[in-house]
Amino acid sequence: MSDATHMLLHKAFQIGYVPILGSYSVHTVEAIEKAATMGMNTIIAGQAHIDLSTPEGKACRRHGIRVLYPLEKFVYHGVSLRNQTSPEQTEIPLFLAPRHHLSGSQVIALDDELIRYETLEDGVLVGCQRGWNGTTPAQHREGTILFWPGDCEQEVVRMKDSPNLLGWYVLDDSPGDARSALRAMYRIVRKYDPEIRQPVCAGYGDAGSVLNFGPGICDIMMIYWYPVEPDRYMRESTAEEVQWILAKARERVPGVPFIGVFQSFDGRPINSGQGLPTSEQVREQMEDFVREGACGLIAFQSSKWGWIDTPELEKPIGKAYREIRQTSGLFVRPETEAMARRRTQPQGFWTTPNRVPGYVPAWRLAAPFDVPEGKTLDAMFPPDEAIDFDAVYGGPFGEIRWRTWDTVGGEMEISNLFNRGLIVHKTAYAVSDVENDRERDALMGVSSDDDCIVRINDAEVYRYEGSGGVTRDKYKIKVRLPKGHFRLFVKCHNRLGGWGFSLRFMDLDETPLEGLRFDPGRQ
């Protein structure tokens, strides 16, 4: 590594002056002991590892390994508001996912309001006392995930005093619109820990998951991007996605720190879409996160097929963790030319993002419309005939209203807005109004998952029919942008899995395009 530069990890929430260095899925005493020899000081684990009377808890205490305790179950229960709710309503319809879980408690938190209800009948909360316990009745958005604060508070109280506890793990991928629930959970944790000795950590695995980030949600982001697939290694995408995710997050919370979660597992046996990283690829992932200013590193593995039983994965992790313990940093090699070309933010830790012009910062979106079997873009719904931002449509989960959602670097991940298991054969519509300072030719960088139409005013400029994932600027299409106002219209259909699209404008030399103003803008 003669060309490597020593880079310090960003100092935030250290354990005895050592950055957070850890792993998922460290279950047994033997695994804990192996983790300790590798230099780990943190694991994501449950009650057995918190409890000092268990073999696992004793092993963690003996080896100085701290625990991020999971609270995600309090948002991953499959219960959300079916419709927009007014401050006066005393009966509140819910959407119940097929595998939903209900609490025995009769108090829910929605945004800043507490609501006490008498019973649940046929998917409706009945006998609701609005503004319970001195809170203020308010309007709440359809799709908002419910939160039962009493259940969560009881669990926090049971676990909070363990010396093994490092902090709390509250989010792992997007369950839908969980912002209200996550803020309520954060308030409970801070009630017992106002000085933030036990940080709240939330996981973000793609651009769209930043939907569930903002003030009062977490203290540390955990960003994961697994670049090794069975037949390709997308190294450059790790740094690029981290920059875009952090740019959006730090617009909302300047300087929020992050932990890099790197791929240390083989996804082939479980058909997860990932492959087996080499030792070199594991090292490169860690270097790439440190180059972007990470304050810690955590290895992701599933219960099997990870570093725990794969020596070629274990060795580079242990070597890097011991290096960080000794030097507070990592020797990082120069980024590749492709990474440098895609760079939008500076290397290392930064507080507020650089401005990047040309990408659509937000869309007015109406979704999801349920598509009949055998149809895709040819399934017609009211927005195909006319755009009415005040309209309310019927949908499979309840009301559909036009709502404004931010993009992350022009990427609109629709799948993160809903329960991912329920969005097969659905269609979404998105609209952005643009002011252009002059007529000109430009390149439109576009990609979609899956079928998609893009129109500038009434002219179709992009059509894709088929399945596939979103890759920024996958297609670069020359378009003529009129002077003054024009409207972007997108219709995007999901066949299976992920769902979304990306769109931005560039000069003909592929530099970001100046001179465009978008409505809606950033939220």
| Average pLDDT of span 214-235 | 95
Question: What pLDDT is attached to residue 14?
Answer: 96
Has domain 5-74+152-342 been given CATH number 1.20.120.1200?
no
Q: Please state the rounded mean pLDDT for residues 124-139.
A: 98
Q: What share of the chain is helix, strand, coil (3-state, %, to 5)?
A: 25, 35, 40
Q: Where does the pLDDT of residue 305 fall: very low under 50, low under 70, confident under 90, or very high at 90 and above?
A: confident
**Mean pLDDT score, 197-210:** 94
User: Is the whole-model pTM more than 0.85?
Assistant: yes
d(CA 205, CA 223): 6
Q: What is the share, in percent, of the chain residues with pLDDT greater than 90?
A: 92
pLDDT number for residue 522: 60
CA angle, residues 275, 278, 284, in degrees to nearest 5: 105
pLDDT band at residue 503, thresholds of 50, 70 and 90? Answer: very high
pLDDT given at position 419: 87
pLDDT computed for residue 49 by the predictor: 98
Task: Kindly list the domain boundaries of the chain, sorted by start residue.
Answer: 5-74+152-342, 87-134, 362-519
Round to whole Å and give the CA distance between 396 and 398.
6
Identify the CATH number of the domain defined by range 362-519.
2.60.120
pLDDT at 521 over 80: no
Cβ 384 vs Cβ 442: under 8 Å:
no
Q: What is the pLDDT of residue 1?
A: 67
Q: Is 177 in a helix, a strand, or coil? A: strand
More confident residue, 422 or 427: 427
What pLDDT is recorded for position 303?
Answer: 66
Are 421 and 376 a contacting pair, CB within 8 Å? no
Please state the rounded mean pLDDT for residues 137-159.
97
